[in-house]
Chains A and B, each alone.
Chain A
Amino acid sequence: LSCCWLIHRHSDKPAKMPAVSKGDGMRGLAVFISDIRNCKSKEAEIKRINKELANIRSKFKGDKALDGYSKKKYVCKLLFIFLLGHDIDFGHMEAVNLLSSNKYTEKQIGYLFISVLVNSNSELIRLINNAIKNDLSSRNPTFMCLALHCIANVGSREMAEAFASEIPRILVAGDTMDSVKQSAALCLLRLYKTSPDLVLMGEWTSRVVHLLNDQHMGVVTAAISLITCLSQKNPDEFKTCVSLAVSRLSRIVSSASTDLQDYTYYFVPAPWLSCKLLRLLQCYPPPEDGAVKGRLVECLETILNKAQEPPKSKKVQHSNAKNAILFEAISLIIHYDSEPNLLVRACNQLGQFLQHRETNLRYLALESMCTLASSEFSHEAVKTHIETVINALKTERDVSVRQRAADLLYAMCDRSNAKQIVAEMLSYLETADYSIREEMVLKVAILAEKYAVDYSWYVDTILNLIRIAGDYVSEEVWYRVIQIVINRDDVQGYAAKTVFEALQAPACHENMVKVGGYILGEFGNLIAGDPRSSPLVQFNLLHSKFHLCSVPTRALLLSAYIKFINLFPETKATIQEVLRCDSQIRNSDVELQQRAVEYLKLSSIASTDVLATVLEEMPPFPERESSILAKLKKKKGPGAVSVTELEDSKREGGELNGGGDRGPDTASTPSPSADLLGIRSAAPVGAAPASAGSLLVDVFSEAGDISSLTNPLIPLPCRFVCKNNGVLFENQLLQIGIKSEYRQNLGRMYLFYGNKTSVQFASFTTTVSCPGELQSHILSMHLLEPLVEGGAQIQQVLNIECLTDFSDAPLLNIKFRYGGALQNLTLKLPVTINKFFQPTEMTSSDFFQRWKQLSQPQQEAQKIFKANHSMDTEVLKAKLLGLGTALLDNVDPNPENYVCAGVIQTKGQQVGCLLRLEPNAQAQMYRLTLRCSKDSVSRRLCELLAEQF
């Protein structure tokens, strides 16, 4: 079978004999490989290998100097033996000797051996470095390439020290051959990733950026990987690459499929380079220059259009390459998150793929839609595909595709469709693959909790969960249902009734017994009036499960029994009987025995008053992060967690700020889920150990990947003026999401720190400071756990009180150690004066009356400016609502204009504000006027808002 051609051809020619050895032909090696293949057993193989090793060792040790060819052959055999999985502890020196041979083949084998087998054995590294140095200065392009490859393959610190300053020179030198340039660019990238401190681009920066213009497509392809990596670390220094990348992309996208000759891949022009260009652009915000942006939008539209054209070839390679570009373009559109048209088109395109006959495309469409669901512009569009996604969950043959469908359902869930989605997920659970059940259970539990408007539905859902997938319901899930039932008195009676009914099933899961025991012990009295669920019936029902349960559940039941004695004195005799019997009071388990003894004693000697005090109903649980959410975070890999988490926050932002259904008072009332949903609460969450990611910790050492940041101040993304939730900051290591709520002059901000790596951050500390006059804020920080495990996310809560109006923003400083390097960054927090707005509804006459009252010149601030963003009515309305004011209809005589009114609440005073925004679509201009009862507020709001439109 191993002589089947890898590429299937429609030809009746018989399979050829494999080229046993091509090129120089080391016959000895071929014979050895044949021998190994003919070995009938593992033992025979080991025997043959040991014989060979002995032979090679004696040759290397022998008196006779070996010629180059023999040395090469033996080194190659050693390499083969190593690749079979056997240890090799000699031959390194011979391989190093080969490096200085002037015969290409010997050198090549030497370098291959070094690349595969040498780690940082410092003795050898010095010799190897010498050989590399010679080859780099040889001006022989083939030798230079071999040397560069070796540096990239080994990539050790010593090599970086020796060559990091030399390689940029080779890369930009005018007389360097193209192939050497390509190798140099990627070699430098490798060194930059391992030892960023040693690679100083400084003077080379602009010449490296200009490699994007190189005539040779191969050079551009290699260089752009380097440029992308450098841009991620030093975006400002490399920002000129944006316009170069856009024009290069535009030339490729508009070229005919034959223009690029061999860089056209199955009729698709330069797919790799196109994707890399699109990826590079994702390191930057949308281009500021209108012409560049226009050109880029055109490219993106062309790519979307091409997806609709009939394919130029039936080969899967054609469609893969074309769609690879399409998906990368969609990633860029999602990254910009500012072009509603493109977002909706992207969503429609993915919608088509959801039904595509190719499994790969369905998988990718589901995956990509998950991120689209987080954009306020496309969330609704994603939701229209709900039926298709549900269908995928039910019918896809491949479990990994079903998994993506479940992820997407989770991401697209909001209050409007929660019941449907939860119901579908529950019914899927009945047949779901074992590998994904636990995660599904957590997701259902989270959605049910998050979107529960009616708690009886929540209780039903969780009990169903236990019924359907009891084994996969972790402690966190059933703890949580109990916490919620205890904290909400409107659902306790229903919960008691429902668990009572559920327990009547002949076989019920032990988790059900736990929940039932706990809830009846607390709230059994609420259903005791019905003779069908009288105290004794309840007790007998619980006790009928007792013998089938494990020790911890029995312990829980014993506690429920003593609670029964308090709730229902009439059950006392029966229960004391149970406690007194040998199987309890003499139980071999210490815990059970102790409970039985103590409860029996307590019930017989304590007065009713004492009993009532000791066995009082549980007090409400302090609100904290939903324990199940923490569990899900712990379970999933790094990317997935932070994405879903922030998706949620972003989407809520969409609802609060962007949706048209926001009443004037929603800003001041927390949404109904607020007290139910632990993620809004104040206690910090312990960082979960990243069990899943820990293996990779030392495997893929990214230690040198990130240079120590020299603490640049990261400015505030201006979109947060009109938005309360979203991703505040993201780099390769860390993602910071925020969610905030404001009420009167108080605010609360939740900061989510997501570790995107698989490695733990050490000494993670955060501080908030209010520079200068900004003492107007009182900020109290809750302390964080000092570790952010790989892949984990932790949250922190910040309370804010606005004392008086202000213009600067508080600063958040974050310090932690990653792979030994101290990371230090400072961000502005998006706390702006408008956050403390209360909307004010008023009629047209009121509005203009007040407008006139605020007529002192310093009370007014006005600005006329060019539109920087879409002038679309819905977008504008969403922004104005996001500002926090009431958007008043039928007030301005000109229907094109927008007027808003609100009161800014500070501790000391209230500042009334009126706003008028007059768009001029033809000129693409706005006039913005603010009149406030305090002049500093007018000026500040005017500054803030002028950047928004």
Chain B
Amino acid sequence: MCMRFLLLFSRQGKLRLQKWFTPISEREKKKIIRDMTSMVLARQPRSCNFLHWKDLKIIYKRYASLYFCLAIENQENELLALEVIHRYVELLDKYFGNVCELDIIFNFEKAYFILDEFLMGGEIQETSKQMVNRSIEASDMLQETMEEYMSKPAF
């Protein structure tokens, strides 16, 4: 499943997460983000979830206020990509418990960590929800033993 990038943005076009699986310059990233948000946000409701863009396929899906937009290489499987998005949403949901956009805003680093357990280098690393959650929980365990952190000042 060769993926090139994953973007999460709100209905207002605010970027919430960006993950690039191949090296791209910052300038190009900004251009792609602009293209994606304008293209996806312009789509009518109940349209199909796939678009052709340059030599890539863009798979997008809206979950409540957030759009998930995944670019895959041309020969890749669109339906499976749609389920990659859904599985990621499920993983976020499982971790945060009824995940919402604010969770992702305030815990963006966690959203990245969860994504890293699921995908790597644009390929799927682990499809089992249990497995991914187990590693995320394991790393949270490592964190929560650091009680000292809680007593630190805010600034």
A interface residue numbers (CB < 8 A to B): 1-9, 15-16, 18-28, 30-31, 33, 37, 55, 69-70, 76, 79-80, 83, 85, 103-105, 108-109, 112, 116, 119, 142, 145, 148-149, 152-156, 179, 182-183, 186-187, 189-190, 194, 217-218, 221-222, 225, 262-263, 265, 270-273, 275-276, 279, 317, 320-321, 323-324, 327-328, 359-360, 362-364, 397-398, 400-401, 637-639, 692-693, 695-696, 698-702, 757-758, 791
Cβ distance A536 to chain B, nearest Cβ, rounded Å = 53
CA distance A466 to B100 in the complex (A): 53
Q: Which residues in A have their C-beta under 8 angstroms from that of B25?
A: 698-699
Determine the distance from Cα of A187 to Cα of B48 in the docked complex, in whole angstroms: 33
Partner of A190, one of B28, B108, B121, B155: B121
Contact partner of A363 (CB less than 8 A), chosen from B48, B106, B107, is B48
Note all chain A residues with C-beta closer than 8 A to B95. Answer: 22
Supply 14 further A-B pairs (C-beta < 8 A) apart from A105-B142, A189-B121.
A1-B11, A22-B107, A33-B105, A156-B23, A186-B125, A222-B124, A270-B127, A273-B127, A324-B77, A400-B51, A637-B52, A639-B75, A695-B31, A699-B32
The answer to whether B80 touches A275, judged by C-beta atoms less than 8 angstroms apart, is: yes
The residue in chain A whose Cβ has the minimal distance to the Cβ of B59 is A360
20 A–B contacts, CB within 8 A, in A order: A5-B64, A7-B63, A15-B98, A19-B106, A24-B144, A55-B155, A108-B113, A142-B139, A153-B121, A179-B126, A183-B120, A222-B125, A270-B127, A397-B44, A397-B46, A397-B47, A398-B44, A398-B47, A638-B55, A699-B32
Please measure, in the bound complex, the distance between the C-alpha atom of A270 and the C-alpha atom of B110, giving whole angstroms: 26
Contacts of B83 in A (CB 8 A): 265, 271-272, 317, 320-321, 324
- Partner pick for A265 among B101, B106, B127, CB 8 A cutoff: B127
Give B72-110 interface residues, CB cut-off 8 Å to A.
74-75, 77-80, 82-83, 86-87, 89-90, 92-93, 95-103, 105-110
- Say which residue of A79, A190, A362 sits within 8 Å of B109 (CB atoms): A79
- Nearest opposing residue in chain B for A80, CB measure: B108
* A886 and B99 alpha carbons, distance in the complex (Å): 70
Looking at the assembled complex, report how far the CB atom of B41 sits from the nearest CB atom of chain A, in whole angstroms.
Answer: 15
- Distance, CA A257 to CA B39, complexed state (A): 38
Q: In the complex the two chains form, is A700's CB within 8 Å of B154's CB?
A: no
B109 CB contacts on chain A under 8 angstroms: 76, 79, 109, 112
Q: Choose one: B48, B79, B82; the contact of A400 (CB below 8 Å).
A: B48
A15-B100, A400-B48 known; A187-B79 Cβ under 8 A = no
Asked if B38 is an interface residue, CB under 8 A from chain A, the answer is no
Contacts of B123 in A (CB 8 A): 186, 189, 222, 225
| Interface bits B41-58 vs A (CB < 8 Å: 1, else 0) | 000101111111011100
**Contact in complex: B55, A221 (CB < 8 Å):** no
Task: Assess whether A218 is in contact with B131, with CB atoms less than 8 Å apart.
Answer: yes
- Once the chains are docked, how many angstroms separate the CA of A24 from the CA of B140? 8
Min distance, Cβ A136 to any Cβ of chain B, angstroms: 15
Is B97 a contact of A222 with CB atoms below 8 Å?
no
Contacts of B44 in A (CB 8 A): 397-398
Q: Tell whether, in the assembled complex, residue B120 and residue A187 are in contact, meaning their CB atoms are under 8 Å apart.
A: yes
Contact of A637 with B99 at beta-carbon distance under 8 Å, contacts A21-B107, A320-B79, A360-B78 already known: no
- The minimal Cβ–Cβ distance linking B140 to chain A, given in whole angstroms, is 5
Q: In the bound complex, do residue A183 and residue B100 qualify as a contact, i.e. CB atoms below 8 Å apart?
A: no
> In the complex, what distance in Å separates the CA atom of A782 from the CA atom of B22?
39
Residues of A within 8 A of B17 (CB): 83
Contact of B86 (CB < 8 Å), options: A225, A273, A317: A317
- Contact partner of B146 among A1, A103, A263, A317, CB < 8 A? A103
Enumerate chain A residues within 8 angstroms of B24, measured Cβ to Cβ: 699-701
Q: How far is the CA of A757 from the CA of B152 in the complex (A)?
A: 53
- In the complex formed, the residue of A with least CB distance to B153 is A28
For B150, the closest partner residue in chain A by CB is A25
Q: How far is the CA of A891 from the CA of B31 in the complex (A)?
A: 70
CB neighbours (8 Å) of B56 from chain A are 696
> Chain A contacts of B129 at CB under 8 A?
262
Measured between beta carbons, the chain A residues less than 8 angstroms from B135 are: 142, 145, 179
Is the pair A6, B128 in contact by a Cβ cutoff of 8 Å? Answer: no
- The answer to whether A24 and B146 touch across the interface, beta carbons within 8 angstroms, is yes
> In the complex, what residue of chain A is closest to B96 when comparing beta carbons?
A19
Query: Contact at B106–A21, with CB atoms within 8 Å?
Result: yes
Evaluate whether A2 and B100 lie within 8 angstroms (CB atoms) in the complex, with A24-B144, A263-B128 already known.
yes
* A-B pairs with lowest CB-CB distance, top 9: A18-B102, A2-B101, A324-B79, A190-B121, A6-B63, A4-B64, A324-B80, A104-B142, A398-B47
Q: Judging by beta carbons under 8 Å apart, are A323 and B144 in contact?
A: no
| Shortest Cβ distance from residue A57 to the other chain B in the assembled complex, whole angstroms | 14
By the criterion CB–CB under 8 Å, are B55 and A693 in contact? Answer: yes
Asked if B65 and A2 sit within 8 Å, CB to CB, the answer is yes
Residues of A within 8 A of B75 (CB): 639
A-contact 0/1 string along B17-41, CB 8 Å cutoff: 1100011110010111000000000
In the assembly, what is the distance between CA of A182 and CA of B126, in Å?
A: 8
Bound Cα distance from A449 to B98, whole angstroms: 59
- Chain B contacts of A19 at CB under 8 A? 96-97, 103, 106-107
Residues of A within 8 A of B55 (CB): 637-639, 693, 696, 757-758, 791
How far is it, in angstroms, between the C-alpha of A9 and the C-alpha of B102 when the chains are bound? 18
Selected from A2, A105, A362, A693, the residue in CB contact (under 8 A) with B102 is: A2
CB–CB B142/A142 < 8 A: yes
Residues of chain B lying within 8 A (CB to CB) of residue A26: 149
Q: Which of A6, A109, A225, A320 contacts B93 (CB 8 A)?
A: A6
Nearest-Cβ distance from residue A427 to partner chain B, whole angstroms:
23
Chain A residues closer than 8 Å to B30, beta-carbon distance: 85
Among A8, A18, A701, point to the contact of B23 (Cβ < 8 A): A701
Chain B residues positioned under 8 Å from A28 (CB to CB): 153-155
What residues of chain A lie closer than 8 Å to B102, measured between beta carbons?
A: 2-3, 18, 20
Measured in the bound complex, the distance between the Cα atoms of B154 and A30 in whole Å is 9
Bound state CA distance, A152 and B125, in angstroms?
Answer: 12
Task: Give the most central of A3, A7, A28, A273: most B CB within 10 Å.
Answer: A7
Asked whether B23 lies within 8 Å of A119 as measured between CB atoms, the reply is yes
On whether the beta carbons of A327 and B77 are closer than 8 Å, the reply is: yes
Bound Cα distance from A695 to B103, whole angstroms: 34
Instruction: Given the known inter-chain contacts A23-B144, A327-B77, A400-B51, please indicate yes or no for A222 contacting B126, CB distance below 8 A.
Output: yes
CB atoms of A31 and B154 under 8 A apart: yes
Residue of B nearest to A154 (CB): B23
A319 to B52 alpha-carbon distance, docked (Å): 23
Q: Are B120 and A275 in contact, CB atoms less than 8 angstroms apart?
A: no
Asked if B79 and A5 make an inter-chain contact with CB atoms under 8 angstroms apart, the answer reads: no
Decide if B90 touches A7 in the complex (CB within 8 Å). yes
Complex Cα distance, B149 from A882, in Å, reads: 77
What residue of chain B has the Cβ atom nearest to residue A87's Cβ?
B26
CA distance A103 to B86 in the complex (A): 32
Asked whether A83 and B48 contact (CB < 8 A) given A69-B152, A317-B86, the answer is no
Report which of B1, B98, B105, B121 forms a contact with A187, defined as CB distance below 8 A: B121
Q: Assess whether A263 is in contact with B127, with CB atoms less than 8 Å apart.
A: yes
Contacts of B93 in A (CB 8 A): 5-7
A276 and chain B: residue at smallest CB distance: B1
Q: How far apart are A349's CB and chain B's nearest CB, in angstroms?
A: 14
- Find chain B residues with CB under 8 A from A30 CB: 106
Q: Which of chain A's residues have a CB closer than 8 A to the CB of B23?
A: 119, 154-156, 194, 701
Instruction: Determine which of B87, B106, B116 lies in contact with A20 in the assembled complex, contact meaning CB atoms within 8 Å.
Output: B106
CA A401 to CA B144, docked complex, whole Å = 50
Q: Are B4 and A104 in contact (CB under 8 A)?
A: no
Tell whether, in the assembled complex, residue B110 and residue A23 are in contact, meaning their CB atoms are under 8 Å apart.
Answer: yes
Contact of B121 among A79, A80, A186 (CB under 8 A): A186
Closest to B24 in A: A699
**What residues of A have a CB within 8 angstroms of the CB of B139 in the complex?**
104, 108, 142
